């Protein structure tokens, strides 16, 4: 495989130094159970989620109202998909800064198809998902072919994708969309549950099956745990990296579609400039959930719980009349703390492996 040296050194496992390489890799697909379930990141997140929900329910007005719970469910659905998109790339030790741009481009493509081209919903939505998939695959292909760090490649493609979309659409929103498009986001089950949340849970279940029960998922995990060993074992590491980025693009497209359904329009700025508003929740969900930044270990359940926690914190802090900028400060501090905990967990796992 001609790209193997560059791929192992830069793209398949970005951010690794020689010191990192000395640490024992986790077996692909294995979830460490050091200390049992009670010490797992997932259980800790669940306890935090319950405590914050109880606290906000007691000390805020309207947190448990059907309206707020419905709004929270729709926000959590988008955050879930965004976090899962980033998780699929972190699996290989990579990063994807273009998830927001890919999601917005896909939603704008759906808006153009429905409003300008007159395409029906049944055609526009699969086409938008295909756009996200192709943009993600392009990210992966560029990383593998150039051997550049995924941070650099996706930082560049974030600007390229968003810029092309702005030029192609002249930064105009698509608001004259079929009633059924926004109608899906307004549906309520049991008075407050949004079907969008069900879509996020379904995506998580499918990813869990992918990583636990399929050879493709195991190859992705192996490529992240130890790309050199995976390559020697016959795993096409470059293909695994490309597939992970394609999957990230597909999930980002789904998140973009849900956000535009919630807004009732496809708006170029709906995820901020260059889609940067998605970056913090995209990193927070998988890192809080226990997905290792160095790759090779994934926690789909943890990522879902992390996305729910981020959504609850956003909602609850705003109901406490905490300023938006202070909410961002708090979430940023939470991300920094999660990364430090991630490094500590790596050292504990390495020490346990040595014994």
In this prediction, residue 266 has a pLDDT band, given cuts at 50, 70 and 90, of very high
pLDDT at 19: 31
Among 176, 179, 184, 197, smallest CA distance to 266 is for 176
Rounded to an integer, what distance in angstroms lies between the CA atom of residue 166 and that of residue 215? 39
- Does residue 26 form part of some domain? no
Q: Is the pLDDT of residue 352 over 70?
A: no
Assess contact for 87 and 348: CB atoms under 8 A: no
pLDDT mean over 78-104? 95
In this prediction, residue 72 has a pLDDT band, given cuts at 50, 70 and 90, of very high
201: left (phi over 0), alpha (psi -120 to 50) or beta: alpha
What are the tokens at 10?
């830069």
Domain of residue 228 covers 4-14+38-354
For residue 335, give the CATH number of its domain: 1.10.3470
pLDDT at 353: 59
pLDDT at 240: 94
Which stretch of 6-20, 138-152, 227-241 has the lowest confidence by average pLDDT?
A: 6-20
Long-range contacts of 117-121 (CB under 8 A, 24+ apart): 120/178, 121/178, 121/180, 121/181
pLDDT mean over 312-322? 89
Q: What percent of the chain has pLDDT over 90?
A: 57
* pLDDT tens-digit map of 289-307: 888 888 888 899 999 999 9
- Does residue 160 form part of some domain? yes
- Between these two residues, 319 and 33, which has the higher pLDDT value? 319
Assess contact for 346 and 292: CB atoms under 8 A: yes
Assess contact for 104 and 260: CB atoms under 8 A: no
- Does residue 22 form part of some domain? no
Q: What percent of the chain has pLDDT over 70?
A: 86
- Does residue 149 form part of some domain? yes
- Does residue 257 form part of some domain? yes
Rounded to an integer, what distance in angstroms lies between the CA atom of residue 129 and that of residue 222? 27
In this prediction, residue 337 has a pLDDT band, given cuts at 50, 70 and 90, of confident
pLDDT at 196: 94
- What's the mean per-residue pLDDT of the chain? 85
pLDDT mean over 79-100? 94
* pLDDT tens-digit map of 216-232: 999 999 998 888 898 88
pLDDT at 36: 56
- Does residue 27 form part of some domain? no
* Total number of domains constituting the chain: 1
In this prediction, residue 350 has a pLDDT band, given cuts at 50, 70 and 90, of low
* pLDDT tens-digit map of 129-152: 999 999 999 999 999 999 998 999
pLDDT mean over 43-60? 88
pLDDT mean over 73-90? 95
For residue 192, the SS3 value is coil
- Does residue 238 form part of some domain? yes
- Does residue 20 form part of some domain? no
pLDDT at 146: 93
In this prediction, residue 342 has a pLDDT band, given cuts at 50, 70 and 90, of low
274: left (phi over 0), alpha (psi -120 to 50) or beta: left
In this prediction, residue 10 has a pLDDT band, given cuts at 50, 70 and 90, of very low
Which stretch of 189-203, 213-227, 314-328 has the lowest confidence by average pLDDT?
A: 314-328
């Amino acid at each position: 495989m001609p790209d193997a040296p560059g791929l192992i050194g830069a793209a398949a496992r970005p951010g690794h130094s020689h010191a990192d390489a000395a640490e024992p890799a986790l077996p692909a697909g294995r979830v460490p159970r050091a200390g049992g379930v009670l010490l797992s990141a997932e259980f800790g997140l669940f306890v935090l989620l319950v405590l914050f929900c109880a606290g906000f329910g007691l000390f805020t007005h309207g947190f448990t109202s059907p309206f707020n719970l419905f709004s929270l469910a729709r926000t959590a659905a988008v955050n879930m998909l965004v976090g899962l998109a980033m998780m699929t790339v972190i699996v290989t030790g990579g990063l994807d800064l273009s998830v927001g741009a890919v999601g917005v481009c896909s939603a704008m493509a759906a808006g153009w198809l429905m409003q300008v081209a007159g395409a029906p919903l049944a055609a526009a939505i699969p086409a938008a998902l295909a756009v996200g998939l192709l943009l993600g695959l392009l990210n992966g292909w560029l990383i593998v072919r150039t051997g550049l760090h995924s941070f650099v490649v996706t930082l560049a493609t974030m600007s390229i994708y968003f810029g092309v979309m702005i030029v192609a659409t002249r930064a105009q929103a698509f608001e004259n969309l079929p009633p059924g498009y926004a109608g899906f986001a307004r549906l309520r089950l049991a008075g407050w549950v949004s079907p969008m949340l069900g879509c996020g849970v379904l995506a998580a279940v499918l990813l869990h099956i992918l990583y636990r029960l399929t050879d493709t998922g195991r190859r992705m995990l192996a490529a992240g745990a130890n790309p050199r060993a995976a390559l020697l074992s016959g795993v096409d590491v470059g293909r695994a990296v490309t597939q992970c980025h394609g999957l990230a693009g597909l999930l980002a497209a789904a998140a973009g579609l849900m956000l535009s359904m919630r807004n009732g329009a496809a708006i170029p700025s709906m995820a901020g400039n260059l889609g940067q508003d998605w970056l913090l929740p995209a990193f927070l969900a998988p890192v809080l959930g226990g997905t290792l930044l160095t790759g090779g270990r994934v926690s789909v359940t943890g990522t879902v719980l992390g996305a729910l926690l981020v959504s609850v914190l956003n909602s609850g802090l705003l109901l406490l009349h905490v300023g938006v900028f202070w909410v961002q400060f708090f979430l940023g501090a939470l991300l920094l703390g999660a990364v430090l905990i991630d490094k500590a967990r790596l050292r504990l796992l390495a020490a346990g492996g040595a014994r």
